[in-house]
Every structure is written in structure tokens, then in C-alpha cells.
Structure 1
Amino acid sequence: MVHVTPPPGLSHAEERLWAAFPTGTMVVLGDDVPEGPLPDRTVRAHVLTRLMLGACETRPGSVAAVKLRGAYIIGQIDVSGGTVEHELRLERCRLVEEPDLSNAETRQLRFADCRMPGFDGGGLRADGYLSLSGSTIEGQVRLPRAQLSGGFRMNGTRITMDDPAKWALFSGGLVVDVGTFIRDAEITGGVRFVGARMNGGLFMERTVLSNPGRLALDAQNMVVEDTAEFSAGFRANGTVRLRSARFNGILSFSKGILDSGDPERMALHASHMYADELLLLPAEKIKGKVNLSYSRVGVLYDLPPAWPDELSLNGLVYDTLRGGGLKDRLEWVSRDPQFHLQPYEQLAAWYHGAGSDDLARKVQLAKLRARRRKLHFVGRAWNHLLDWTVGYGFRPWLAFAWFAFLLAVGTTVFSAEKPHAIRPPDELPDFHALVYSLDLLIPLDTFGQQLAYDAVGWSRWVAYLLVATGWVLATALIAGVTRVLRPN
């Protein structure tokens, strides 16, 4: 039944609220959050529920709404599964029981600077924004599958969930248009945004998420359009998991803090992620592991002081890299505890694409040296030889330098200790120490000196050395060039 006048049995505060509803007038019972059930500030929850569900006539020419400040609300606001045609606005109210708006269709909802033991909005569909800004919630906020067309606001909100088996903010499958604003908040117990879609961005500047040794934020498969700001004083005490998330814009940790609470745990798990731009510029060194494996980033901007001791970069692809020089980047890719070719190949490809072919070659050389540490003894020995002689083929000038040095040694030795002739005088070419040394170093008998003269005494060992090193240099040069052409 629709009442024109307040129904019987209402308190004075409830009569004021009933009378103010048709015009949407704010009823002020106090300017602070009441600690106890004061007679002149106590309102029963079922009175608010009846007004929200249309138990009072509206007034033509006015916008009806439930607006209440400074009330002590007993009982439960329960509109679960219902349709609410009017705005609900509670300011500085104390709710004894958690409001239940699960599976309801509502207009704008605002709980500003309130105190409550929880909030249930599972499946809520709000044609307007939901605001819990400034509120203190001593329990769980549930918003799974909720759809908020006007945005979601939790600026300055304090949520505390002491049960480690439950999330402080549980909102898998949440869809928010306009924007999600959770600035200056303190949330203890972990936030779950798995599968959420933030169509107007996600802004968590100066917010503290505290769940040490556990998940501070689980946002797997989340999609954010525009900007995701975990920056400007944002702090996560626990793991931030963004696995398979997509950021069609900027993902920023600029001036934020990531601390897993356990050096063996992930501080940032962002594998298989996509971001147009990733700003990994925290205020201090990341404490814990970071996993960026198989992610794709348009622009990656980070700095060496921010890197944790352990980075997983295998499969990471980026179009542009900013922050740190070659030496820093080589240290960056070496922080992966497991050796993988791909991080080095990606870094070399980026330098090559940027026109720095010399730096790309240095990265390839560093890759082969890092790979050498994983080989058995014989393999390491051969790789050392390739490195010293030809730089794995990336430094062929080393072979010519060795060749010139050995040629100079041979020329000096055989000028002082002339080899013995082994042919008849009429078949002997004129001896020349330089040409003789050259003939020994080149694996083929090119100038006829090697077959006409034979070193004697101690110089014979020099001849043997030149022949052996000539073959080694030739083999190393061929192997090195082959490795460059087929680096994997």
C-alpha cells in the first residue's frame, strides 16, 4: 500500500525521513558518525528499505531520494533482487548490519564516511555510480558480477578483513564504466579483480593494500581501458598478480612501492600480460620476484635501481625500451635464474631495430657467454676458445690480430734461426722468414716455403705451434661465422 502520510509506529527521526523522501531533501540527524543508538538518531533499516522500494508517493516536479546524515541504522538494509528507482545517499551513518543489495537494480548509491560491518553487492546493477568513499568497513565488500554504469568510488575508504581465507574486496567479473577510483584507501586482506573490466580506467594512487606473504591484488584477466595507476604513493604489501591482464593504455607503478613480504614470493606477477605502456618506476627497489614472461609491452620504461634480484623475462616482447644503457640491460636480462635465449634475442633485435648494430652484436656475444656457463667441461673449453680467438664470430678482427701476432713471432724466430733446406739447391725458392711463417700459419701450402725448408732445433717447436694455431684459427673462424649466421 502506498502511504501519503507517514505510517504509524515511526520514530521522530523516521517521520522526518519519510516526509523528506518525495523531494529528496537531506535529513540531518548529526554531523558525526554515532557510536551508539541515541534515541533521536536511530533509524530502522526496514524504513529505508520500504522507501527505496516505493512505499511512499513521489511528488511531481521533484526528484525523490533517500538522503540521511548522522544516523544510527539498526537492522539490515535489504533490497536484494529488487528494483530501486530512487537514489540512496547515506553520510556519516553507522550501519549495525551490512547492507544487502545483491542482484538488485538501483540508481545511484552513496555511502559516504559511513561505518559498517560489510557490504554485499554481488550481481548489483547500478544505473549510476556506487560510492563507498571515506567509509570504514570492518568486513568484506562483495561485488562479484556487479555492473556499475556510473563508476565506482572508494576514495579514502578503510576496509579490514581479519579472516585470511576471505578477500577484503571480492569483485570477480566486475564491470565499471566511467572509472574506478580507489585513491588514498587502506585495504587489509587483499583485493580480487579477477576478470574485471574497467572501461574508464583504474586509479589507486596513494592506496595501501596489505596482505603480506599472500595476494594483495589478484587481477588476472582484468581489462582496463585507458590508464591503470598504481602510483604516486601506492603500496602493495603482498603479491600483485596481473597475469593475462590487458591494459589498453598506461600501466604505471611510478613512485609506488611493491613489497611481497617474502623474498621468495612474487612481488609482481605479470606474465602473459599486454600493456601499451608499462612504467615500472617504483619509489624504491622492488622487494620480491618479478615475472614478465610472455608479456607484450609497447613501451617499457624502467630504471636499474628498481629491479629486484630475480626477474623472469623469457618471452617478453617490447617495441620500445627506455631507461638504462647497454651495461644495465645486459645485467637486466642476466637476472633471470634460468638461462633463456629469447631475452637476449629480443634485446639484440631491439638494438638492431634502433640502428645500433654494434650494441646488438655485443648482446649476442653476451648471450653466448651466458650460455657457456650451462655447458659441460669440453663444451665450455671450446666456447672459451671461440671467444678468445674470434669472439664467437662477432669479432673476426680478433683472428686477424692473433694471426698478425703469430706472424711477427714466426718472422722474428726464423730470421734468427734459419730453417734447413730439404730440396736440391736448384729447386729451392729463396728463403724469406715472413713468407715461411705465413706458409706455416695458412693450412694450405700456398707459397712453397713449408715443403722446401724444415725448421731445426728449438725453432721446430715454434713451427709446430704456428701450424697448429693456424688450423685452430681457421676452424674457429668458420665455426664462429656459422654461429653468427645460425645463432640458435
Structure 2
Amino acid sequence: MDLTDEPDDRVSASVIARLLLGGNEAEKGFVPAVRLRGAHVTGCLDVSGGDVECELRLEKCVLDEAPRFGNARTRQLRFADCVMPGFDGGGLRADGYVSLSGSVIEGQVKLVRAQLLGGFRMNGTKITARDDRYAFFSGALLVEAGMFARNAEVTGGMRMTGARLAGGLFMEGARLSNPGRLALDGQNITVSDAMECGQGFQAEGTVKLRGARIDGTLSFDRAGALRAPGRVALQLSHADVGELILTPSEPIEGIVSMTYARFGVLLDNPDFWPEQLRLTGATYESLRGGGVTRRVDWVSRDPEGFRPQPYEQLAAWYLKDGNEHLARRTQLLKMRRRRLTLPWPSRAWSALLDYTVGYGYRPWLVFGWLTTIVVLGTVVFSRVHPRPIKEPAERPDFNALAYVIDLLIPIGAFGQREAWDAVGWTQWLAYGIIATGWILATALIAGVTRVLRPN
């Protein structure tokens, strides 16, 4: 029934409800529907628990009270460019699509446990919560044919915990505002297609996708401001995402948490890396977006300090990608960052291992130290000869180079150390060379055998 041409634009909600519930027998050969345009709906449109066989289409209507479709079963529902104080669809089952596109809603949209088999649309919709409740409240929502909220404005946050969206979630250009709280609570959400939060998407408050399962792409490509100062701005911990595109148009203000998440592909932009990033336990199969040599800085942004696992994961990816040099560099920097967390005795020993053999990742440093010591010792002992400690017939001729090498090597090789003894102040130099030899040998052996590389 089309009520557009009624002389009075005021229509009682009870009349619409009776029509929807079969108050007027449908004619054979026609699809039953109720359509209104530009009407002022008075009273409460309440079909809770009913079985609605008609399609409902309201365009540019004003509703005095929030429509109630709780636990009802309906066909297609369309509220296009309407003004209403809320919408109650808790437990609603719609065999067609439900649309709130273009509407202005001053109150809560409630779709808890709703099943929308034909999809859900709220493109360009403006929802404003009247109190501390969520503006969009839809825990355990099921949408089979995709949810579209492009260019929507939601003030008061969206709660979609446990929602299952088989056809994807498309929120390009949407603006969510709930400062100091959750702008989007999508904990444990399951998206069997893409989740698009780019192209100007903005969020004042936390975007929480903890434990989310997104089979396709989760995209923040060219997203606008994601702000949660002093809080977690983007929560992706324990999420399982096929591909994450984290390339906003400006840096995220707040912490980004990816702890214990799994990503197939992670694409980001080094110029807009978050200042604070938690990566402990996160795994990924591929990193894209440039900044390959700068990734060590990327894994070093945990606000809680040093965590070893992100370095291990990055080094493993470098090896898989064929960048062995960068993998070694990552492991070296991991040990250096770890050193800052140690007590001072361990820190001193750790620094020594770093400067001598680079924790085993730079064993060639030993040869630089050895060369320096050999040259210095050879010059000194060439000018200040040690005194003999054996009879001439029992000792080899003095050779400064061989003498220094004998001092360096823990087990003498040339017999010089047993035949000659340093004199005066050069004794201290000899003791220093002997000690340095033991230290370098120990560090080199331990480094090469990876004893110094804790898991």
C-alpha cells in the first residue's frame, strides 16, 4: 500500500504496524509492501515478535518514536533519509536487506543478535547517542550479504562484539567519535571478506579488533585521523588477518597493539609508523611497503620497553626473504637493546662481548683487536727487550713479533714466553696482552658456537 498521496502527511504508526502484520489481505499477483514518502509517523511503530510479510519502505519520513522490530521476522526494511529517535531491532531476522542509509538518528540503533540475511546498509547515516550508551549496539550481529557504512557519522561508538559479517564490512569515509572510550568495539568479530576502513575513515577513540578474524583484507589505506591520546588507538592483539594494510594518511595518535596477532601480509608505510607499537608475539608471513632496512626501528617502538620476540620474528623473516646480513644485524641490535635491561655487572660483560666479537655476529672484530695488540706489542718489545730466563743454549733468539703472539695465545706456540720475561713497566703490558688473549679467545669461541645467543 502506498500512502504517499494521503492529504494529511501524518500517519499513525499503529496503522502501519497493522498493515505490516497482515491487517490488509494482499492481492494475488502483487508483492505486499508499505511505502511512505515525506510522512510524519506518529506513535510507536511496534511489530516486536511479529511475522512481517510486507516490505517496508519509508523515505524522508519523520518518526516520533524509535521503531521496534525486536525478535520480529521481516522481509526488506528500508528507512531512507528518515529522522527518528532510535531503532530497536534486537533479535530481528530479516530475509531481505535492512537499510538506514541517509537517516538521522538521535538515539541508539540496537541490533543485538539480529540476523540480516540480505545485508545491512547505513551509508551516510548519522547516529548520535543521547547518553553514555553505544550509538550502534549490535553484539552477535549476523549479516550474510555485507555491511555498508560508507560516510556514516556515529557519535557515541559502535559495539559489534562477536559479529559475523559474511559479505564484508565497508566503512570508507566513516567518522566514529567516542573520545576516551571505544569508537569501534569489534572484539572477536569475524569478517569473511574485506574490512575497509580507509578513504577518509576517522576514529576519535579506540578501534578495538581484539581477536578479530578477517579472511580477506583489513585496510586502513588513506584513513584519516585515528586518535586516542594516551590510550590504545588500534587494538589488533590476538587477531587473525589475511592482509593488513596500515597506510593512513597521517600518523596514528596513540598506541597500536598487535600482540600475538597473525598476519599473512602486513603492508605499511615507514613514514607513518606508529610512535608506539606493541608487537610481542605477533607473526607475519610477508612484510611489504618499503623500509626494509629500517624495520629494526619498527620493532623497537614498544612503550613498555625491550621485548625479544619481535626481533626474532623480524630476523626469521629476513632470512626467509634472503637478507642474511639484515637478519644478523637484527640479532645484534636485539642483544644491544637487551643489554640496557641488565644489572651493571652483566651489562659490563655484555658490552665487552659486543665490542670484541659483536656477540658472535661480528667475529671479524677479534682480528682487528689482535692486529692492534700485535703491532703495539711488537713496537714496544722491539725497543725494550725482555730479560732472558734460560741459558743461551736453551732459549731461542728473541723475536718481538713471536713473543707478543706467544703472550696472546693461551698456549704458547713459539717458546718465547718461557724463555724471555718482560722487565719494568712492560711487565704490565705483557700481563695485559695475556689477559686480553684469554678474553678474546673465550669471547670468540662462545660467539661462534652461539653460546652467547639466548633464545
* Preserved CA contact (<8 Å) 2:446 2:452: no
Deviations 1:73-98 (A, max 9, x none): 10111110010111000000000011
C-alpha distance in 1 between matches for 2:88 and 2:130: 17
Listed as ranges, the matches of 1:241-260 within 5 Å are 241-260=208-227
Identity %: 59
SS, match of residue 11 in structure 2: strand
C-alpha distance in 1 between matches for 2:88 and 2:236: 29
Partner residue, 2:4: 28
C-alpha distance in 1 between matches for 2:324 and 2:271: 27
* 1:287 aligns to 2:263 (yes or no): no
The TM-score, its normalising length taken from structure 1, stands at 0.91
C-alpha distance in 2 between matches for 1:64 and 1:249: 38
Partner residue, 2:49: 81
Partner residue, 1:346: 313
Among candidates 248, 264, 289, match of residue 298 of structure 1? 264
- After TM superposition, the structure 1 stretch with the greater mean CA deviation from structure 2, 458-467 or 166-175, is 458-467
Deviation of the 1:326 alpha carbon? 4.7
Among candidates 90, 105, 108, match of residue 122 of structure 1? 90
The TM-score, its normalising length taken from structure 2, stands at 0.97
Cα-Cα RMSD: 1.4
Among candidates 317, 320, 329, match of residue 286 of structure 2? 320
Partner residue, 1:182: 149
Partner residue, 1:155: 123
* Preserved CA contact (<8 Å) 1:293 1:315: yes
Partner residue, 2:27: 59
Listed as ranges, the matches of 1:257-406 within 5 Å are 257-261=224-228, 263-336=229-302, 337-406=304-373
SS, match of residue 450 in structure 1: helix
C-alpha distance in 2 between matches for 1:234 and 1:101: 30
Partner residue, 2:396: 429
SS, match of residue 311 in structure 1: strand
C-alpha distance in 2 between matches for 1:182 and 1:325: 33
SS, match of residue 288 in structure 1: strand
Q: Which amino acid aligns with 2:4?
A: V
Q: Which amino acid aligns with 1:182?
A: A
Deviations 1:184-220 (A, max 9, x none): 1100000000000000000000000000111000000
Deviation of the 1:433 alpha carbon? 1.3
C-alpha distance in 2 between matches for 1:303 and 1:45: 52
* Preserved CA contact (<8 Å) 2:134 2:156: yes
* Preserved CA contact (<8 Å) 2:111 2:137: yes
Q: Which amino acid aligns with 2:211?
A: S
* Preserved CA contact (<8 Å) 2:270 2:291: no
C-alpha distance in 1 between matches for 2:196 and 2:373: 62
C-alpha distance in 2 between matches for 1:345 and 1:56: 70
C-alpha distance in 1 between matches for 2:160 and 2:5: 36
SS, match of residue 427 in structure 1: coil
Deviations 1:6-45 (A, max 9, x none): xxxxxxxxxxxxxxx2xxxx44359xxxxxxxx7111111
* Preserved CA contact (<8 Å) 1:201 1:227: yes
Listed as ranges, the matches of 1:105-144 within 5 Å are 105-144=73-112
* Preserved CA contact (<8 Å) 1:260 1:287: yes
Matched residue count: 454
Among candidates 151, 169, 180, match of residue 213 of structure 1? 180
Q: Which amino acid aligns with 1:475?
A: T
Deviation of the 1:474 alpha carbon? 1.1
Deviation of the 1:260 alpha carbon? 3.4
Partner residue, 2:66: 98
C-alpha distance in 1 between matches for 2:335 and 2:383: 42
C-alpha distance in 2 between matches for 1:160 and 1:455: 88
* Preserved CA contact (<8 Å) 1:296 1:317: yes
SS, match of residue 264 in structure 2: strand
* Preserved CA contact (<8 Å) 2:360 2:452: no
- After TM superposition, the structure 1 stretch with the greater mean CA deviation from structure 2, 95-104 or 333-342, is 333-342
Listed as ranges, the matches of 1:229-240 within 5 Å are 229-240=196-207
* 1:168 aligns to 2:135 (yes or no): yes
C-alpha distance in 1 between matches for 2:264 and 2:292: 20
* Preserved CA contact (<8 Å) 2:110 2:138: yes
C-alpha distance in 2 between matches for 1:90 and 1:277: 39
* Preserved CA contact (<8 Å) 2:293 2:326: no
* Preserved CA contact (<8 Å) 1:258 1:267: no
Q: Which amino acid aligns with 2:415?
A: G
* 1:201 aligns to 2:164 (yes or no): no
C-alpha distance in 2 between matches for 1:326 and 1:345: 15
SS, match of residue 79 in structure 2: strand
Deviations 1:355-396 (A, max 9, x none): 111110000000000000001111111011000000001000
Structure 1 gap segments, 5+ residues each:
1-20, 31-38
* Preserved CA contact (<8 Å) 1:29 1:71: no
C-alpha distance in 1 between matches for 2:417 and 2:406: 6
Listed as ranges, the matches of 1:431-450 within 5 Å are 431-450=398-417
C-alpha distance in 1 between matches for 2:262 and 2:373: 50
C-alpha distance in 2 between matches for 1:382 and 1:229: 50
C-alpha distance in 2 between matches for 1:482 and 1:193: 52
Structure 2 gap segments, 5+ residues each:
none
Q: Which amino acid aligns with 2:63?
A: L
Q: Which amino acid aligns with 1:61?
A: G
